[in-house]
Structure 1
Amino acid sequence: MSRLKEGIEKEISNIFDNIVDFRKNIHMYPELGYKEIETTNRIVNILEKNNVKVYRFENITGAIANIFNNCEKTIAVRVDIDALPIRENTGLSFTSKNKEVMHACGHDVHTSIGVGLAVLLNRFKEDLKVNVKIIFQPAEECSPRGGAKLLIEKGVLSNPKVSEVYGFHVWPSYKIGEIGIKPGAIMAASDRFKIIIKGKNAHAAEPHKGVDAISIGADIINAVEFKLKREINAFEPCIISIGKINSTGRYNIICDHTELEGTIRTLSEDSRKKIQSRLKEIVKGISNSYGADYDIDIINGYNPVLNNEQLTASFIKSAEKILGGENVKTNIKPSLIGEDFSAFCKHKPSLYFHLGCDSKYPLHSDRFFADNETIKVGLRLLGLYIIEEIA
């Protein structure tokens, strides 16, 4: 082990307990997207105490830490800081005190790794071959207008110009110490839709005098579930899910108003366009066949997260040295979960990986929890990669 690597490993051990305490604190006080006021305060306070240059964003929550060594090249690491509107049910001693809000997607771990990484890199600033920006991004969970796009519009990738961006997400299906990574699409496009069916009331005993919006909605669901999906290549990953149905009326009245809401997840732009086009045609055709009016609104959300092939190859090689080849999973399938890190991919060569946290509960579960050791693995991987591997 080189003297530098030994020093990095030792420093990670030295700061780890403080970073875990920070994690517990923000886990207890989670905040929703664009409302991460106290989370931002805690990030700024701990970084300032550790002599890291950190700046709040103007007119938006979040912050950026700059660890610069007058290098020609600048990279960025993005971590998301927001939580979800879920009541926590983990039973932890530091469970959420904001009763209807929870870090059910592990962003408390992401934030803690970002803080720890800023402290670590700052203490080895003279050894850095690149300048580093660590972006503490608000509102990842606020599709379709997540915080990434807003920060890019504010110039977070400029002054100095960022050449590449790195991101990650805790991943329950991998063990602590493992990562999942692949070139190309690793996370999906995430779009949402709302369908309104406008039928006609009648007595339930005389359905022929009405236009049943519930029956129309049921036909649309069946067409989406069994017809539309069969029009897409079976080897092309995609999901069309309807997660919400609302209707008006009474048990003995033919319903005149039904609303369906759902999501479309795709990896390719061709599938995305085809599904959206066919969904409109299906809703129109079924509604017209019943004599009903309709509205359909499809909102484009996040684009797919696309890993740059060159960055991915370089990162895999380094990760295998740091974690061991058996712990770097490259033969993986992309996830159909959406992520607004995709906004960075659109502007810069980017890399995104899944960080094993070995949780028996899935992301967005009220019992999800990523072990604190996940933080140490993230610090080791990113710290050693940035300090020793990036040229």
Structure 2
Amino acid sequence: MDFYKRAVELKDETIKNRRYIHEHAETGLDIPVTKAFVIEKLKEYGIEPKECGYGITAVLGKGGGKVLLLRADMDALPMPEQSGEEFACPTGKAAHTCGHDFHAAMLLTAAKMLKENEDILEGTVKFMFQPAEETFEGSKNMIENGILEAPKPDAALAYHVSPGKMPVGIFMYNSKDTMMYSVDGFKIIIKGKGSHGAYPHVGVDPINIGVHVHLALQELIARESDPSKACVLTIGQFKAGTAANIIPEEAILQGTIRTNDNAAREKLVRRMKEVAQKTAEVYNGSAEIEMISEVPPLICDTDMTNEIVGFMKELDIPGLTPYPDVSASASEDFAVIAEKIPSTFMYLSAGYMDERGEFPAHHPKARFNEDVCPIGSACLAHCAVEWLKKHK
């Protein structure tokens, strides 16, 4: 089966699906419009979807044999859109500036093609349409609700489109090392004692404590982290107080820790908690730490990644070009899947070489090239067929 030829025939349909999801962008776990649309399309293609937590799953193929999981996220970001596209989300509250609308649309087309060719599957394809990747909740929610059971996948594959100033067709991967960093989001709630700003000695200033906590946390990178490992600790929010002459009861710091190494991650998270709590105690306050997200580094299975690269090279797709050994300090909750079963994750370039490629993902003006649609759909379908064949 020439899946690329068929995907080109279905390109307009894939784009139409992508634009619907884009225009109706939703964020977080509960994305009812997007979810209903994906369910409707799967049924239209003759596939019976099932809810899996806040996500959707479905299976195709023969009983017995191996099971390959194909995953697409489908949530947007909580931000306004300024792309200028005619199908831009009009709400001003959400925008598909990370390309998850492409992922869902391409997997829908891959599902349609695999259903058309179900008789050639030497095993089972399991679909995972996932919400809340941006908040790092979606994979965990679907795992808790059985996505890795009944049938249990033996391996998993996911793609992520990438905007920017680059031609369509480059596929980026890493079969040797960490591909994407861990993410541990945290909230430090510092408790003090409120007082009049003119009488600081009768209170405990949580803002002062927060300043010292912020400075102390920077030393974890400067003096405690192994310089041979990549480690990032960023405080992105410092919130406290209501007036200039009032010492508040509480201050809140929120931040993120990113690493490319599990041991470095464990140490940084542990020391962040210790430093925050002990520093608060020094200044007569206290600190509570709430972990907002906990996702390991994304490490792809070497053998599977090399297999998928080989399958992709078999496809006669103009401009499809491998780019190995890519690593990024951004994070991806597909890592939770990859930690449990052999998996691979790849970027597909969806950029422009003109002014439309000037803005990166997560920018309100980001634009993605729809010529990537048949490439992604064909790769998903072809790799599924060939992986099952090889592992029957």
TM-score strictly above 0.5: yes
Structure 1 residue 384: deviation in Å? 2.7
Task: Give secondary structure in 2 for the equivalent of 1:54.
Answer: coil
**Cα distance, 1:253 vs structure 2:** 3.9
- For residues 198-243 of structure 1, give each alpha carbon's deviation from its aligned partner in whole angstroms, at most 9, with x where no partner exists: 3345555565555433232222222223454431122211211111
Alignment of 1:324-335 (within 5 A): 327-333=321-327, 335=328
With over 3 angstroms needed to count, the CA separation of the structure-2 counterparts of 1:288 and 1:131, relative to structure 1, is closer
- Cα distance in 2 for residues equivalent to 1:165 and 1:221: 39
Shift, 1:326, TM fit: 7.9
Does 1:28 find its partner at 2:23?
yes
RCO comparison, higher one (Cα < 8 Å, 6+): 2
Q: Within 5 Å, give how 1:1-391 maps onto structure 2.
A: 4-5=1-2, 8-51=3-46, 53-57=47-51, 60-70=53-63, 72-143=65-136, 146-172=137-163, 175-183=167-175, 184-201=177-194, 204=197, 207=200, 210-322=203-315, 327-333=321-327, 335-358=328-351, 359-388=357-386, 390-391=389-390
| Maintained 8 Å contact 2:311/2:386 | no
User: Where do 5+ consecutive residues of structure 2 fail to align?
Assistant: 352-356
Judge which range, 323-332 or 83-92, deviates more: 323-332
Contact 1:65 1:118 in 2 (8 A): no
Q: Tell me the amino acid that sits aligned with residue 108 of structure 2.
A: V
C-alpha offsets along residues 101-131 of structure 1, whole Å, 9 cap, x if unaligned?
2212211000001101011112222333332
Query: Stretches of 4+ moved more than 6 A in 1?
Result: none
Q: Secondary structure at the match of 1:193?
A: strand
Query: Which amino acid in structure 1 is aligned with residue 363 of structure 2?
Result: S
Q: Distance in 1 between matches of 2:372 and 2:319?
A: 18
Give the conservation status (yes or no) of the 8 Å contact 1:164–1:348.
yes
Q: Decide whether the 8 Å contact of 1:249 with 1:256 is kept in 2.
A: no
Task: Report which stretch shifted further, 363-372 or 103-112.
Answer: 363-372
After superposing the two structures, state which structure 1 stretch, 222-231 or 11-20, moved more.
222-231
TM-score, structure 2 normalization: 0.88
Quick one: which amino acid aligns to residue 43 of structure 1?
V
User: Which SS does the other structure have where 1:369 is aligned?
Assistant: coil
Q: Once the two structures are superposed, what CA deviation does each residue of 1:285-335 show, in whole Å capped at 9, x if it has no partner? A: 4323333333333455222222111101212233344368982111322x2
CA, structure 1 residues 298+139, in 2 after alignment: closer, same or farther (shift >3 Å)? closer
Which whole-Å CA distance do the structure 2 matches of 1:109 and 1:340 have between them?
A: 17
Change over 3 Å in CA distance of 1:229–1:44 after alignment to 2? same
Contact kept, 8 Å, 2:65 with 2:123, in 1: the verdict is yes
Q: Provide the identity percentage.
A: 28
State the number of aligned residues. 381
Q: Which amino acid aligns with 2:35?
A: T
How far has the Cα of 1:83 moved from its partner? 1.7
CA contact (8 A) 1:228 1:278 kept: no
| 2:36 counterpart letter in structure 1 | N
Secondary structure at the aligned position of 1:165 is classed as strand
CA-based RMSD of the aligned residues comes to 2.5
Matched to 2:8, the amino acid is S
Q: Which amino acid aligns with 1:307?
A: C
Of 177-186 and 14-23, more deviation after overlay is shown by 177-186
SS for the counterpart of 2:25 is coil
1-structure distance, mates of 2:75, 2:364 = 16
Q: Counterpart of 2:147 in structure 1: which amino acid? A: V
